[in-house]
Amino acid sequence: MSSNALHVPVMLRRCLDMLAPALAEPGAVVVDCTLGLGGHSEALLAAFPDARLVALDRDPAALRLSAERLEPYKDRATLVHAVYDELPEVLDRLGIAAVQGVLFDLGVSSMQLDEAERGFAYAQDAPLDMRMDQSTGISAAEVLNTYPPGELVRILRSYGEEKFARKIVEAVVRERAKEPFSNSARLVELIRAALPQAAKRTGGNPAKRTFQALRIEVNGELPVLERAIPNAVARLAVGGRIAVLSYHSLEDRLVKQVFAAGAANTAPPGLPVVPERYQPRLKLLTRGAELPTEEEIAENRRAAPARLRGAERIREDVL
């Protein structure tokens, strides 16, 4: 069975419903900032036959596979090898000033998790790579083998929210002095040995938080996201909508902050009339973050941690 056949897009119906009011007009442009295997993109093209799609992915393998999947729609789909914070440059190159819809499905894609040799999954032994674009950047093994101990502790705490970061890093430093890390199984074993018994009884695989932290560091995910969400909001036309699927609290918090700032009145207190430039430019489309249904989680276990937030652009920027 192909990866495409196995791939179930997360919260697909809800994403389509959220973006629909903005994509009804002929010629509407929707951007899928995280193409992956193309499940969301295929559904967008099928649901909105007059819309044009621009889809970004940093992973050349994902672009190849999704190009096959989207072949029936190739006259309306433009696939671009780019990281999603490069959206403004991509749109400028394509001569697109503003778009009507933007979708982000953050985190690691199904294909990257399912292909053992990419090194994202802690459940099977593989080279410690974790790069979403294997043609550039440093691998997870290089991070483990070369970063100073204090920097490794910071990464595990900040990006993995790992309470036992110091214990894990002490073990990593001892072990890398004997032999550099190259494969995931050795790291998983080390983490199991380093953690107290009580910490291993709950919360799933004890390596999960460390692997998340390394992946975020290797791919610069949070700094990229900090730039990408405001960039996307800035390119939305009035009436345009943005939907963002996050998979851990660090991502969700960033999205929440950008949306909340855009939906806030920024006038100094006490003004009798609020000038246009201080009025909110976004309207929130979700109360808090929406969660997947129990049925969806039963069908697709990778949907379980998903959090969906949406916003609509309600006015232009006023200088």
Percent of the chain with pLDDT over 90: 71
Q: What is the pTM of this model?
A: 0.87
pLDDT exceeds 80 at position 5: no
- Binding residues for S-adenosyl-L-methionine are 38-40, 57, 84, 105, 112
Token output for 233: 């909001």
- Binding residues are 38-40, 57, 84, 105, 112
Percent of the chain with pLDDT over 70: 91
Between 3 and 185, residue with greater pLDDT: 185
- Assess contact for 112 and 130: CB atoms under 8 A: no
Express each pLDDT in 109-162 by its tens digit: 554 454 555 545 666 788 898 888 887 889 999 999 999 999 999 999 999 999
- Assess contact for 32 and 44: CB atoms under 8 A: yes
Rg of the chain over Cα atoms, rounded to whole angstroms, equals 21
Token output for 26: 């002929």
> Which residue reads 């193409």 in tokens?
35
> Which residue reads 């294909």 in tokens?
111
3-state secondary structure 101-162: EEEEECCCCHHHHHCHHHCCCCCCCCECCCCCCCCCCCCHHHHHHHCCHHHHHHHHHHHHCC
- Whole-angstrom distance, CA of residue 233 vs CA of residue 102: 8
Range with the largest mean pLDDT of 44-53, 101-110, 198-207: 44-53
Q: How many residues does the chain have?
A: 319
From residue 58, give the alpha-carbon distance in Å to each of 81, 86, 190, 212, 240: 5, 10, 31, 18, 25
- Terminus-to-terminus CA distance in the chain, angstroms? 54
- Whole-angstrom distance, CA of residue 133 vs CA of residue 121: 16
Dihedral sign, Cα of residue 89, residue 93, residue 98, residue 103: negative
- Assess contact for 168 and 191: CB atoms under 8 A: yes
Domains belonging to the chain, first-starting first, are 3-111+221-313 (3.40.50.150), 125-219 (1.10.150.170)
Backbone angles phi, psi at 252, to 5 degrees: -60, -40
Cite the beta strand spans of 210-256 per DSSP E. 236-246
Sheet holding 52-57, edge to edge: 77-81, 52-57, 29-32, 99-105, 236-246, 307-313, 282-284
Cite the beta strand spans of the chain per DSSP E. 29-32, 52-57, 77-81, 99-105, 236-246, 282-284, 307-313
- Whole-angstrom distance, CA of residue 163 vs CA of residue 286: 31
Structure confidence at residue 140 (pLDDT): 94
Angle at 211 between CA 1 and CA 301, to 5 degrees: 40
